[in-house]
């Protein structure tokens, strides 16, 4: 779901991918976008990335810890 939302926000949707890393503590979602699109995914004062993190946590279910980070 995060990947689809990010694709709609950026100019280069083909460059968007989400890497999922699971461990005992929870799930880490690493969002990869084109360098020029990083600002669009973060948004003003981090509002968009904050909303994406809320969506990621809400869709995870099961009380698992979910973190979303934007890869360099």
Query: In this structure, are residues 13 and 44 in contact, taking their beta carbons and an 8 Å threshold?
Result: no
pLDDT at 23: 87
> pLDDT per residue over 2-43, tens digit each?
999 999 999 999 999 999 999 888 999 999 999 999 999 999
Domains of the chain (ranges; CATH) run 2-70 (3.30.300.20)
Residue 34, phi then psi, degrees to nearest 5: -65, 145
């Amino acid at each position: 779901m995060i990947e689809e939302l990010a694709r709609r926000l950026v100019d280069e949707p083909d460059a968007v991918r989400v890497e999922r890393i699971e461990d005992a503590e929870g799930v880490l979602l690493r969002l990869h976008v084109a360098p020029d699109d990083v600002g669009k995914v973060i948004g003003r004062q981090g509002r968009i990335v904050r909303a994406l993190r809320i969506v990621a946590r809400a869709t995870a279910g099961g009380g698992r810890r979910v973190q979303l980070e934007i890869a360099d």
